[in-house]
Amino acid sequence: MGVFVFLPLVLPLTAWPIARLAEQHLHPRTATRLLTAVAAVMAACSTLCLALVMVVGTAQLPGNPLPDGWSDPEVRAAVPYDEIVGKAAIPALCAVVAACARTLWRHARVRRRAHRALAGLPGTGVAVLPDETPYAYALPGGRRDRVVVTTGLLERLRPAERRALFAHERAHLAGGHHRFLLTVQLAARANPFLRPLRTAVAYTAERWADEEAARHVGSRRTVAHAIGKAALVSRGTPAPTLAGLAAPGPVPRRVAALLGPEPAVRRWPSLFTAVGLAAWCAAAGTALSAMSSANAAVTMVLILHTATPL
Amino acid sequence: MTERGQGARRRGQGELEALVLSALGEADGPATAGWVRERLGCDLAYTTVITILTRLLAKGAVTRERSGRSFAWTPAADQAGLAAHRMRRVLDAESDREAVLASFVTGLGPDDERLLRDLLGRAGHTGRTHSEGED
C-alpha cells in the first residue's frame, strides 16, 4: 500500500483545472453534475484514507478500544511514517466530521427557520414579502418548495423580467440544486483542496437556472436584464470578495454568458482542447483517487483481518 | 401542566404569532389579551398570549395602549409584513446564507457594477437594433 494511501488526500488538486474551465466551456448542467460527482467521490476517498491512517495511528495508543493486533509491526508497516501521520490523522478526521456535521446542521437550521418565518402566509408556491430590501431565493423542503421574493425587488422589474426571476428560482427547485450545493459544501469541508469545486458549482448551478429561465421565457436578454437589475438594486450587500482581487464577480459573468450564444450540450469534450484536457485530467485524478483508496481499504481490511486474534 | 407549552411549542412560534395577529385583526378596534385568548378559543395560557403579544410589539407588528389596569392591543402589520420581518431576521442572522439558499444574485465586487452597466448598456443597444432587424 505504502505512500499510495496518501494519494487521495492530494489528488483533489487534479480537479482544479476543470473547476476553472468547466464554468466557461461546458453546458452548466453538465458542469454542475460533473463537478459535484468529482467532488463527492474525491471527498469520500480522502475521508476513507484518513480513517484508515487513523486506525493504524490509534491502534498504537495505549487504552484505545481497538484490538491489540491492529498495532502489530506488520500492520504498521502498511502505512509509512505511521507514528506521526497516524497521530495527525486523529485530529484531522475529528475536524472533518465536526465541520461536516456543522454544515449539515446549519443547512437544516436556515431552512427550518426560513420556513417558520413564512408561517401564517397562504401556502402558495410563491411567497411575496412586503419588504423594501430587494432579494429573492428558492426555499426547498418544508410542506412544499417555495420561491421567496420581496416587493422591493418585484417593483423594480418589468413583467417579463419577473417571469424570468420566477423561472430561475423554479429551475433551482425543480433541479434540486440545493443538493448539489450541499454536496460540494460537505466535500470542501472534507478536503480543503476541493474548495475551488464548491465555488465553481455555486456558479454553474446559477448558470443552469439562468439557462432554464431563458428557455422558459424565450429570451436570453430578458434574463440577463433581470439579473443585472436585481444585482444593481441590491448592491448594498457587502461582496464576499476581497477588494484587491478585482476579477469579474459571478453576476457580470452570468450576464455576459446570457448575452452570448446558448451553450452547446456536448457529450464529452475532445482531449485536444484545454477543457478536454482538464476534464480528462480530473477524471483520471478521480479514478486514481478512487482506485488507490479502494486498494488501501481492501489491503487494510485484509491486514487487520489477519492481525485480529479470533 | 402539559396543556400549556407542549401543543404551543409543537405549533412553533411563527404560527402562534400569526394566529394571534389574525385574531387581533378580526377585532373592531383595540383588544385585550383576554379577548384574544377567548377568540383563539384554545389551550393557550393567558401568559402565553401576553408573551406572544409582547414579542409582536418588539417586532413592530402590534401597538398597545394602556386601558385601565391592562393593555389594549392593535395590529400594526399584517401577516405578510410580519413574515417579511421574521425572514429578514433569519437572513441577517445567517452570515453564510448564500451557501444554503441559492439567492437570485450575490454581492457585486468592486469593479462589477461598472462592468455590469457596460454589459447591460451594450445589450440594450444591440438588442434594439436586433429586434428591429428581425421585425
Mutate to test the interface with A, among B89, B104, B112, B134 (most CBs of A within 10 A): B104
Region of residue A263 (phi > 0: left; psi between -120 and 50: alpha; otherwise: beta): beta
More confident residue, A1 or A91: A91
Out of A148, A209, A232, the one facing B87 most closely (by C-beta) is A148
CB-based burial of residue A66 (10 Å sphere; 0-12 exposed, 13-18 middle, 19+ buried)?
A: middle
User: Which range, A1-15, A210-224, A288-302, has the best average confidence (pLDDT)?
Assistant: A210-224
**Which tops the pLDDT comparison, A82 or A19?**
A19
Question: Which ipTM did the prediction report?
Answer: 0.73
Please give the pLDDT value at position A209: 92
Single pTM value for the model: 0.77
Query: pLDDT band at A1, cuts 50/70/90?
Result: low
What is the pLDDT at residue A274? Answer: 75
pLDDT at site A243: 34
- Residue A132 confidence (pLDDT): 83
Per-residue confidence band for A186, with pLDDT thresholds at 50, 70 and 90:
very high
Q: A285 CA to chain B: closest CA distance, Å? A: 26
DSSP B77: S
pLDDT number for residue A190? 93
Alpha carbon of A123: minimum distance to chain B alpha carbons (Å) = 12
Q: How many Å lie between the alpha carbon of A258 and the closest alpha carbon of chain B?
A: 10
Rounded distance between C-alpha atoms, residue B16 and residue B34, angstroms: 16
pLDDT of residue B131: 39
Decide which of 1.10.357.10, 1.10.10.10, 1.20.1740.10, 3.40.50.2020 is the CATH code for B5-80.
1.10.10.10
Q: Given this model, what pLDDT does residue A171 score?
A: 92
Grid coordinates belonging to A257: 454568458
pLDDT in tens, A37-62: 989 988 988 898 888 888 777 776 66
pLDDT of A309: 66
Report yes or no: A53 and A90 within 8 Å, Cβ to Cβ: no
Given an 8 Å threshold on Cβ–Cβ distance, is B14 in contact with A168?
no
- Mean of the pLDDT values across residues A200-221? 91
Q: Tell me the per-residue pLDDT of A146-181, one tens digit each, with 9 for 90 and over.
A: 898 889 889 988 999 999 999 999 999 999 998 999
Neighbours of B57 (CB within 10 A): 15
How does DSSP classify residue B64? E
CB B100 to CB A111 under 8 A? yes
pLDDT of residue B64: 86
Mean pLDDT of A80-104: 86
What are the extents of the domains in chain B?
A: 5-80, 109-135
Give the mean pLDDT of chain A: 82
Of the ranges A72-86, A182-196, B58-72, B104-118, which one carries the lowest mean pLDDT score? A72-86
Nearest to A138 by CA among A153, A119, A124, A125: A125
CA distance A26 to A302: 42
The confidence score (pLDDT) of residue B36 equals: 86
State pLDDT tens for residues B10-64. 566 777 888 888 888 777 778 888 888 888 877 788 888 888 888 888 877 788 8
The residue of chain B with its CA nearest to that of A176 is B102
Residue pair A114/B90 in contact by the 8 Å Cβ criterion: yes
Kindly state the percentage of chain A with pLDDT values over 90.
22
Question: In the structure, what pLDDT confidence band is assigned to residue A33 with cuts at 50, 70 and 90?
Answer: very high
Q: Which of A172, A177, A252 sits opposite B115 (nearest CB)?
A: A252
Q: At A278, is the pLDDT very low, low, confident or very high (cuts 50, 70, 90)?
A: confident
- A87 band by pLDDT with thresholds 50, 70 and 90: confident
